[in-house]
Structure 1
Amino acid sequence: MTTYLIGTDGESASTAICDHLESRLTADDRVRAVYATSSADEEARQAVQLIEDRLGSIAPVDAGVVDFGREGGPVMTLLAEADSTDADQMVVGLRRHSRTERIIVGSVSHTLLEKVAIPILLVPLPEYQTPAE
């Protein structure tokens, strides 16, 4: 049995993560899906609902929108969720950022790589992949 913590930031990430996990997930596994945000909206609810709809027929899924308020941000929220759910593996989408974007806004996935104590799976999102030459 594996407990997966999925961190999503939209339908694109949820779709890519589900595409990756659907063939690997078993009925013995558990999934906690989280959209960490400072302002819950319909997009957040749809992103976690997509995970629940696609993976829920395979394994138990606990999906929700978590408000991180003014402090912590998505990284600290996902780390806290990993601890509270006793996650075995974290799964998040990987976006390609320019150097400037990484300096100004940072990258959740790269920061998680530096801080997480469990294995982390980065699923590349199709719209951010470099086309093959």
Structure 2
Amino acid sequence: MDEIGFKKEEEEIVKRYKDMLRNTYRDLTNDDKSLIRKAFDVAKEAHKDQRRKTGEPYIYHPLAVAKIVADEIGLGATSIACALLHDVVEDTQYTIEDISKLFNPKVAKIIDGLTKISNIDHQNLSLQSENYRKLLLTLSEDV
């Protein structure tokens, strides 16, 4: 990709990030904004060389998920951060332990739950139910 194309992509990524923050259902404190920005920066860096099948930067997907979590569902900063990070452990070299160190155990626990749910097709029904239960209990802490 040439420099102009790269610059346009960067501008679009920033635009989508700002749009997600602007349309957040809740009022965000400075600490909330810092957490979300850190999650965005980590996700953007982790997915920097990844592309969707359409050729778009992969970070568009976590941003879209975060927008749904923030705007349509109305969850808080922790959930928005987790939405941005939800594919980092699955698709990059980051581990749950890395997420725990970079953020906190609560964020790591939610990401771990989301990772388990994405692997649900390979598990039996009772384990699937348990994973959903854990995810809902974890997310309920952020209500």
Answer with 1 or 2: which has the greater Rg: 2
Q: Of Structure 1 and Structure 2, which has the larger fraction of its residues in strand?
A: 1
Q: Of Structure 1 and Structure 2, which has the larger fraction of its residues in helix?
A: 2
TM-score, normalized by length of structure 2?
0.30
